[in-house]
Amino acid sequence: MRETGKRREVLEQERSRLLDLKESLTETTEDVERDPTGDPSAGGHVADAGSDMFERSRDLSIVQDIDELLVDIEHAKARLTNGSYGTCEACGRPIDPERLAARPAARFCIEDQQGAEREVHLR
């Protein structure tokens, strides 16, 4: 039971970190929308507008990735509750503790994760 509490605490810390990062990126994106430095009609340079758009697009992409990680964290917390945390969802083998330490919300063992990523890249 104590180990479950530690794991839940690690997941909560990661959730908190991701929410802070998401808030920061969202604020930055909103700042750019309110004050577009590259607006030629406001005396800005077209290249600045392009740079701002690139950064905004990048930040929005990172926010989407963070949202996916937050879903994984909630899923991991549910798995802690039902006792399946730390077990690969694909093959049922235990996930290496080092992998869980590096990525607490991991759903797959490293072999199955690599296989899934190869499959995505081949599409």
Q: Which residue range forms the structural domain that includes residue 113? A: 87-123
Domain count, the chain: 2
**Dist. CA 86–CA 89, nearest whole Å:** 9
Q: In terms of domains, do 65 and 91 share one?
A: no
Q: In terms of domains, do 10 and 29 share one?
A: yes
Q: In terms of domains, do 7 and 59 share one?
A: yes
Q: In terms of domains, do 48 and 99 share one?
A: no
pTM: predicted TM-score of the whole model, two decimal places: 0.74
Q: In terms of domains, do 76 and 123 share one?
A: no
Find, among 16, 20, 44, 21, the residue nearest to 32 by Cα.
44
Question: Which two structure tokens, joined as six digits, stand for 100?
Answer: 């869980």
In this predicted structure, what is the pLDDT of residue 41?
53
Q: In terms of domains, do 81 and 123 share one?
A: no
Q: In terms of domains, do 46 and 94 share one?
A: no
How does pLDDT run along the chain (123 residues), one tens digit per residue?
Answer: 578 899 999 999 999 999 999 999 888 766 555 555 545 555 556 666 677 788 888 888 999 999 999 999 999 999 999 999 999 999 999 999 999 999 999 999 999 999 988 887 677
Q: In terms of domains, do 103 and 51 share one?
A: no
